[in-house]
Structure 1
């Protein structure tokens, strides 16, 4: 579903804006931002604070360039080790390669402060648009994106307030849908395995949706295991061993991503655990790696390539039409793939349909 609002007029900030906000001359502002000239520490701090608050970013491109923009689209993703994001980048590139625009990307490392630095450098080269992962950013990053005067698209997540345009899924709904599917299959002793969540907001929202839907079905998560750092097969195996050692009676394992789910599946198969009869399991993202496993783990396909396509089309259309933004919201629907590790829904008892816990 796509809902468009009228574009909002914006203009790029100038040295004069920073000068007025800091109470010093434009020449002094210029010296501070170029890190040159004899400026007191107090004045320098006042100028930098005003620039950060406004979201002002110096212009690094040649002053004589007529458009004051380059045909680049900045793309910020959290990680390249996560197999989700290369497919998003492929989708972006497939659309932009038929336009004069060229994507360039940077990594936020799931760190708002680092994202702020990457964004500052990208915007200083005056790109024609920005595609940024997620809805949670530092105040300074949000100020820079609002003040940039270019189309901005946030991707992957709909659970929050976007800066301008947004393309993605509701992770809370995705978690809730998986919980209802697991409960309908008759599983009751459920364990959760995932990343520590202070900075992985999408994983946190899925967990909230998952546990909330289970609670409405009268089920609580029996135990959980969290990890820090990169996800991988080894991590999934170790987490699964630790969780099943503590709670050997668990009958379902829900993982926050497919990589650790694949590791968990391999561990269960090595231990002779019947999957999905004794223990069912599911991951998230629908990565292609799952197709090469002895059993294909249940997962949820979030249409990663389509997210990239849609985001790039918004940017390309805005640039072509000379718009600074579109105010577009694109909500995609994730799809559950039961694979080989999630048994079918339990048959209704006494001829009654199962309760619909929404």
Structure 2
């Protein structure tokens, strides 16, 4: 009975006895059968975390925030990757829910009808993350990407740029980039401006892709005075291309990305960007799941909108 209480992390057991039991289990190589325990509780101590990619530098930081919180609980995150594909998201969610996890954290608010139906039918905490521009199934933690796009456009116009090009992912695959694009173009339109040229790509973000896209756009439309990239990685590639061509950044041409990737701080110039609050989003989402798994309401509520901060770096003219 004592051993059972220790291994299930339940019951009133002294610290000394608990340590003796855990040490014996360690020496024996014993691993508790969580599935057997789940038959009684109908839940396992797993939190399904469903994200589009691990190659995109955004999501490892989200995972860091999630694990920081769950490390202090009996809950363990298990990750599923969707590759930005709705049908893949359905499959991953179906498989994970079949294990009866204690909660689900998944990226975005835009899902297929089948995915939303599965989420709505479950009685566990569901936290959609990264985006608040839409209607969540349950809880949501993120930023407004439309607002982020508007704020970047306003900063660009305030700095005196007028001929703007946009470079980014193909919108059907990246809903959050699409919403930033919508907010960006709306803000420009209110001031009588429009995007002069656009370049889209599919596949992972990368410096080489940013170089290629920037070269193609400036060859086609050489009189642009600002390039707005949907993420920092392709923006960094564009910056390296412009500097390699001897362009005066930011006086002759300005550039900005999105995500606030700290890895890029070693570039010759610091790229203008917006911090998407990734780690904080992960921490808050995990806290909601952890609190509700023990019957406690999160002190933050079920809708948390964070505010991204704009950093002009060295590629946006100071005003």
Matching residue within 92, 95, 102 for 1:118: 92
Q: Deviation digits for residues 284-340 of structure 1, max 9, x if unmatched?
A: 00011221111010000011000000000000000122679x970000000000000
Other-structure match for 1:332:
306
> Could you tell me whether the CA contact under 8 Å between 1:158 and 1:170 is conserved in 2?
yes
Does residue 170 (structure 1) correspond to residue 144 (structure 2)? The answer is yes
User: Mapping of 1:4-15 within 5 angstroms?
Assistant: none
> Could you tell me whether the CA contact under 8 Å between 2:49 and 2:106 is conserved in 1?
yes
Helix, strand or coil at the partner of 2:104: strand
User: Mapping of 1:39-78 within 5 angstroms?
Assistant: 61-62=35-36, 65-78=39-52
Does residue 82 (structure 1) correspond to residue 56 (structure 2)? The answer is yes
Structure 2: how far apart are the matches of 1:268 and 1:307? Answer: 33
Q: Deviation digits for residues 128-180 of structure 1, max 9, x if unmatched?
A: 00001000111111111111110000000011110000000110010000000
Shift of 1:215: 0.7
Q: How many residues are matched?
A: 285
Other-structure match for 1:135:
109
Other-structure match for 2:79:
105
User: Mapping of 1:216-227 within 5 angstroms?
Assistant: 216-227=190-201
Shift of 1:88: 0.2
Matching residue within 230, 235, 245 for 1:261: 235
Higher-RCO chain (CA-CA 8 Å, sequence separation at least 6): 1
Matching residue within 182, 186, 192 for 1:212: 186
Structure 2: how far apart are the matches of 1:128 and 1:249? Answer: 55
Does residue 158 (structure 1) correspond to residue 132 (structure 2)? The answer is yes
Does residue 247 (structure 1) correspond to residue 221 (structure 2)? The answer is yes
Matching residue within 40, 43, 65 for 1:91: 65
Does residue 191 (structure 1) correspond to residue 191 (structure 2)? The answer is no
Other-structure match for 2:287:
313
Q: State the TM-score, normalized to the length of structure 1.
A: 0.78
Does residue 200 (structure 1) correspond to residue 174 (structure 2)? The answer is yes
Structure 1: how far apart are the matches of 2:211 and 2:111? Answer: 33
Structure 1: how far apart are the matches of 2:148 and 2:196? Answer: 20
Q: Deviation digits for residues 53-72 of structure 1, max 9, x if unmatched?
A: xxxxxxx9548722110111
Q: State the TM-score, normalized to the length of structure 2.
A: 0.87
> Could you tell me whether the CA contact under 8 Å between 2:38 and 2:44 is conserved in 1?
no
Other-structure match for 1:299:
273
For structure 1, which runs of at least 5 residues remain unmatched after alignment?
A: 1-59, 346-358
Structure 1: how far apart are the matches of 2:259 and 2:249? Answer: 20
Structure 2: how far apart are the matches of 1:62 and 1:113? Answer: 31
Other-structure match for 2:6:
none
Structure 2: how far apart are the matches of 1:271 and 1:323? Answer: 56
Helix, strand or coil at the partner of 2:173: coil
Moved over 4 A (4+): 60-64
Other-structure match for 1:41:
none
Structure 1 window deviating more from structure 2 (61-70 vs 87-96): it is 61-70
Matching residue within 226, 235, 245 for 1:271: 245
Structure 2: how far apart are the matches of 1:217 and 1:254? Answer: 17
RMSD: 1.6
Q: Deviation digits for residues 90-123 of structure 1, max 9, x if unmatched?
A: 0000000001100111101100100000001100
Other-structure match for 1:33:
none
Helix, strand or coil at the partner of 2:94: helix
Helix, strand or coil at the partner of 1:66: helix
Structure 2: how far apart are the matches of 1:181 and 1:110? Answer: 30
> Could you tell me whether the CA contact under 8 Å between 1:61 and 1:126 is conserved in 2?
no
Structure 1: how far apart are the matches of 2:165 and 2:284? Answer: 35
Helix, strand or coil at the partner of 1:100: coil
